[in-house]
Structures are given as structure tokens and as C-alpha cells.
Amino acid sequence: MDTATGKRDCIPSCDSCDEPAVYFNPGLQRHLCERHLCLDVEHRVIESVTSHGMVHDGDLVAVGLSGGKDSSVLLSILCCIVPERWDAEIVAITVDEGIAGYREETIQSAVSLTQQLGIQHHIVTFQSLFGKTLDSLLGSYPLRACTACGILRKKAFSDAAREIAATSIATGHNLDDAAQSVLMNYLRGDFERLLRDSSSMEDRGFIRRIKPLHEVNEKEITLYSMINGITGHLPECPYATTAFRAEVRTLQAAIEYQHPGASHRIIQGQESLSEQAKKTVRPCGAVRYCATCGDPCSGPVCQACGLLAGLKK
């Protein structure tokens, strides 16, 4: 104990004020207190949104709100920073996949957050869109749960966003998610996906997807949500442990722990590769439209309709 200041010696002070630090930012090489950590996170989101032109005047931004901490923090920050800077509206969309024992709690958390923030909230269900819950769909199909769920959830968000004439869909993907996706594409040898430039998707008829938290890591989001009392503890999806991503997450977390900042460098490397590839790889072919639902896609039917047709057989 330092008798002059009354502080415990083992807790370093914030590099921006005298408060005790709660976090060390490896990129900035700075210790941050609760207040300065939150300001730093918000600053990075504003930087991302502004520099990538994610929000424009007149936009209706649909935030994909699962009720978990990433999307809840995203919605809270956007509701705080967007109205001050742009003439744009924010609404939330929650997709209820129908996962027994998991979804009820997260949906309740999503409902109370949107009520607190005073924004419109649309809830769509797999049952109403696809005629079955995820649990019942998976009962008859051997495909990995998270792959099937991811394809159908993306379709559900697109349909719901189109229904309300949203101009973009904001998702809570963070820095760790992005680094894991790069590693997964490498490990699968899926170089088309690795090098894909998502900014070209909008030109091909898809609703623009934005990821305002892509420069914020999971630890920072967890601390931000705890400090601001945004969500309590929510259960993990029961299917999450079956996913390839769960294995890659363990690997990525270990690399980041041993080599702070590695996740950021993984993404920077992918962006450089993607830039280089643009100069040499031929552009995507003409956009096609799904024969079943009319969504833009690369084959005769979209992934969701292909998956649903497979399930019916």
C-alpha cells in the first residue's frame, strides 16, 4: 500500500488520469481506467464508422441484436454516437432460431435493452420463415449446426431488413471474430472466401452489411458491457461447442495471449492479400438471382434455399 495515495501498489494507474486501471491496451501500450477504456472503445467505433463510410444521412440501420454482449454493446454505442452525427435511424432485429433453453433468456435481454433505448424492435422466427425451429430442422440433417444456423440466420436478417426497407445491417462482429474467420478460411483452404472483398457485395444486390466493432476485441467489449451494465451473464449457445469456430477460437485466444496484437496483424495481413488479389484475380461473374426466393446469389439457388431443399428431401 502506498501510504501517500492510499492506493494498492499492485494496481497500476490509468495513463490518462489517476484512477486505477482496469485494462492494458497492447496496441496503445497504455493502461486505462473504466472511464477511459469506454471512451477509447467509443472513439474507435466512431473512427471505424466514419472512415469506412458505414453510416450516411437518411440511412435506416438495422442492428442484428442477438441479446448477447457483442450486439447489445453495438446497439448501445450506435444509439449514443449516430444521432449526434448523422440524420439516420436505428432499429433492432432479433432472429429467434428456436433453440430450446437458450433463446428465451437472450430474447428477453434484447427486448429490455430496446425498451431502455427506446428503439423499434422486430423479432422474426425460423418457425414463421422456414416452417420449423432450428432444433427440429437439425433433427433430420447431419450438417454442422452452426453452418446451417449461420446460413439461415443471414437469410432471416436480409428478409427482415428488406421488409422494413433498411439500408444496412449492422452486426456485432468484433476483432477476435474477424481474426478467427481469417484463420478458418486458411485452415479450410478456402481462398475465395479469404480474398473476398465484402464491399463489392452491395453492388451485387445485397443489403450493405457493416461491422462497427471490427476494431474492438472481445475483452474490451466484455469490460464495456460490465462497466455500463448492458447485459448480465447470458448462456452460451448449446450448439457452439460443436463448431469448428470453437476450436479456432481457443487457438486464436492462445496466440493473442502469447503475442498481444497478433489478431490485429492477422487481419491486416488478410487485407493486404485481398488488395493484392484485386490487381490480379478476375472480378466476380455477373450477379445471379435465386430461382426459389429471388435473392442475389452466385449459383442457381441461394445457400439458404439450397439448404432448405436438402432438408425437405
Instruction: Tell me the window of 116-124, 174-182, 213-221, 305-313 that interacts with Zn ion (CB under 5 A).
Output: 305-313
Nearer to Zn ion, 32 or 62 (CB): 32
Distance (Å, rounded) from C-alpha 244 to C-alpha 251? 11
Q: Does residue number 287 form part of the binding site for Zn ion (CB under 5 A)?
A: no
Closer Cβ to Zn ion, 81 or 290, answer by number: 290
Q: How far apart are CA 75 and CA 119, in angstroms?
A: 10
Burial class (CB in 10 A: 0-12, 13-18, 19+), 3: exposed
Which CB, 100 or 291, lies closer to Zn ion?
291
Binder among 122, 293, 296, 298 for Zn ion (CB under 5 A): 293
Among 78, 305, 307, 311, binds Zn ion (CB under 5 A): 305
Question: Which span (41-49, 64-72, 156-164, 298-306) binds Zn ion, by CB under 5 A?
Answer: 298-306
Per-residue contact flags (x/-) with Zn ion for residues 43 to 82, judged by CB under 5 A? ----------------------------------------
* Residues 183, 193: Cα–Cα separation, whole Å: 11
Give the integer Cα–Cα distance in Å for 217 and 1: 32
Question: Which residue is it, cell 438495422?
Answer: 62
Q: Which of residues 222-281 bind Zn ion (CB under 5 A)?
A: none
Distances (CA, A) of 80 to 74, 85, 268, 276, 300: 10, 10, 28, 37, 42
Residue (39 or 164) nearer to Zn ion, CB: 39
Q: Which of 83, 63, 109 is nearest to 225 (CA)?
A: 109
CB-based contact 180:142 (threshold 8 Å)? no
Residue 220 burial by CB count (10 A; 0-12/13-18/19+): exposed, middle or buried?
A: buried
Stretch that binds Zn ion, among 142-150, 171-179, 185-193, 295-303 (CB under 5 A): 295-303
Nearer to Zn ion, 20 or 26 (CB): 20
Site track for Zn ion across 2-41, x = CB under 5 A: ------------x-xx-x-------------x--x-----
On whether the CB atoms of residues 229 and 104 are closer than 8 A, the answer is no
Query: According to the binding rule CB under 5 A, does residue 290 interact with Zn ion?
Result: yes
Contacts with Zn ion: how many residues (CB under 5 A)? Answer: 12
Binding residues for Zn ion, rule: CB under 5 A, are 14, 16-17, 19, 33, 36, 290, 292-293, 295, 302, 305
